[in-house]
Chains A and B, each alone.
Chain A
Amino acid sequence: MTDAGTGAPEDASNKSLKKARWPLIALMAGVAVVVVVALIAVFARGGPVEYAEDTPEGVVQRYSQAVIDGDTQTALRYLAPDLADDCERQQPGTDDLRVTLVETTEREDSARVEVIVATVYESGPFGTNEYRSEEAFDLVRVGGQWYVDAAPWQLTICFDSGL
């Protein structure tokens, strides 16, 4: 066997090795790009978009945040006045909640805000253990301002009244 004879297969195998590597490099680059974009998106974001206070979504957002924070006094301000006056308070749960807007139906003096309420029980390296359910807030307009009239059970602060 000559030198040329041993050299040629080596070159060929090097070439095929290099050729074989590019899919791995491309996929790794893709994974790296996604990770970097996710890092930027998650860390650069201040928090959820804030909806205006005079919209049904804005009221639901402020009410839900107040309930989750345990700030019942603030939450009561967003309840329909007759309900807030008769409220027999109950302690909301301490699970992590995430509320996502699905759609809003707005009528003359009432509105319905459909949401997905996700209760996060625990987090780990393989994601979160959570339960999602589709729920709805009913709102009424009193004196030009929207108030929560009925809320999902996860975000209830009053006994009996459904709030």
Chain B
Amino acid sequence: MMATTATGRAQTVVRRIIVFVLLLTLVVIAAIGLAGLIERIIGAGATLAGDDAGLARSLAFAVIGAPLAGVLWWWERRRLVSDVSERASLVWTLYLTVATLTALVTSASALAITVNAALDGRWQPADAAAAIVWAGIWVWHRHMRRSSATAPTRLPLLPVQLSALYGLAVAASGAISAIAALVSEALAGVAPVLADSRTWFVPVLQALVWLAVGAVVWWWHRFREGARDERGGFATVVLVVIIGASAATALFGLGTVLFVVLRLLFDADAAAEVLSPLGPAIGAALVGAIVWDYHRQVMAARSERARRAARLVTSGVALIGAASGFGVVINALLATLGPTLVDSNPRTLLLGGLSALVVGAPVWWIAWRPDRAVSETDAGDPARRVYLIVVFGASAIVALVALLVIAYRVLEVLIVGGAGGLIEHIRAPFGLLCATAVVFAYHLVIWRRDRRVAPTATTPERPALARVVLVAGGDTDLLATRLRTELGVPVTVWRTTGDGGALGDDAIPGLLESLRGVPARRALVIAEAAGARVIPLEE
């Protein structure tokens, strides 16, 4: 009986995977065909010579793809409506996520490309057709996601979160490009433009188009589709990733601005060459800082654990900047020692390293707060332990690569000769190795101190509940969903074959209460009409 159930479940999973891969393929084929046909209609005036083979392909794709996709969806929809477990399947959520994101990314970029080409005086019917068709597919999948008959019950907001992330990334890069183009134009006095095929404001407007498209996508998904109100684990991970990425962008931009300023003051190179990275750097610093600050404020309302994770990510980003800067300073120092015939100015190298160090070190200090006394809770925080292990791992990898390069060059000199070039070859890896050694030494001290302060921190007194295994008969979905949402932990359902009856609604609050007080990370719940039994499980 058990074997039959397992086989049946495997069959269902394989069937779902095949159906959704097929549906996705058919949707893409139909979209390509339809876009080709629409392109012929809206671009008819611009065609100089007909491409009949292309027309045949578009027709075949549309005629085969669209009806088959429709039939397959009609069949699958009936299953989704009639079978609740179909809607709770992860494969359904993944299909919706992939299809929604593909449609959104393709239509949004095609729209921006069409508008940008129009600003440049060109009409691109192929992109306009793609924008129209994929926008339709996006609307269709949005309806699937929101319709009460077909809406997924597991991770329902996954496509929304990722769409908002895509919008933010596009808007940020558009804003950076717009500022870069503006600054470059403002610097025309120092770096005169001798010839340009475009009017100066066209690149600015084109970047603003990307900004507008990205901003609308982000705003729509964040505020209208509910990405803002999502508090689950995935939403927090996305938030931490955004904070890390925006911090990295802002700090890199700020470091480059400082580098340009230092080079203007202390370097002899031509101003136009020194100023060339200034536009993108100012854009990255400003936009990165705005995105960072906004999400820092969003993070302020989240749990202490999430805030700590964000602080650790910021600290890690700043540490990478500061350590790389220190490595480059050593590299520049060694560049002065070799037997150089013609120099490329080690000042530039040194000023670059100093910029990274000067920007990275204070941010690391503020995020990591090394001057603060470490409490037992801090020292035992799993996120902090993971951070330290990641630092050790990354240091080990960097050190290994650097050591290999250095050993290769030293042995080459010993075996082949040519000692004069040794410093030139090893100065960059040697700088990295020194920086890594400093980072490793500091964090090793922290690790050992943490272990002293909170030696038992890995096994907290009362571990938080992390997983529930529910054994129940009858309609278990309602109870499982309730446990999932109320406790915020994954629930695995094992259905019983005998009919012990379903747990009454009035018993659920009591069950939740006893689960909240359970002294283990995993708990087994046996729910029957007679009542629920909670059994804490060992690791």
Residues of A within 8 A of B (CB): 13, 16-17, 20-21, 23-24, 27, 30-31, 34-35, 37-39, 41-43, 45, 47-49, 51, 57, 60-61, 64-65, 68, 96-103, 114-116, 118, 120, 123-128, 132, 134
Contacts and interface: CB of A to CB of B under 8 A. Distances in A.
Contacts of A114: 418, 420-421
A39 B357 CA distance: 13
A20 B372 CA distance: 10
B259 A125 contact: yes
B343 A31 contact: no
Contacts of B483: none
A61 B373 CA distance: 57
A68 B342 contact: yes
Nearest to B327: A127
A98 B333 contact: no
Contact of B324 (A17, A68, A126): A126
Q: Chain B at the A interface: mostly helix, strand, loop or mixed?
A: helix
B517 interface: no
Contacts of A100: 338-341, 420-421, 424
Contact of B445 (A23, A47, A120, A128): A23
B456 interface: no
Interface in B47-97: none
B255 interface: yes
Contact of B341 (A20, A51, A126): A51
Interface in B242-264: 252, 255-256, 258-259
B352 A101 contact: no
B355 interface: yes
Interface string B110-138: 00000000000000000000000000000
11 contacts: A20-B445, A27-B438, A31-B438, A41-B337, A51-B341, A60-B341, A65-B342, A100-B338, A103-B417, A118-B344, A127-B353
Contact of B336 (A13, A45, A57): A45
Contacts of A103: 417-421
B441 to A, nearest CB: 6
Contact of A13 (B333, B373, B417, B441): B373
B339 A42 contact: no
A99 B259 contact: no
B329 A35 contact: yes
8 interchain residue pairs of minimum CB distance: A98-B344, A102-B421, A38-B333, A125-B255, A125-B356, A99-B342, A48-B340, A100-B424
A98 B342 contact: yes
B339 A27 contact: no
B346 A42 contact: yes
Given A34-B326, A42-B347, A57 B341 contact: yes
Contacts of A43: 266, 347
A128 B373 contact: no
A23 B339 contact: no
Contacts of A16: 449
Nearest to A31: B326
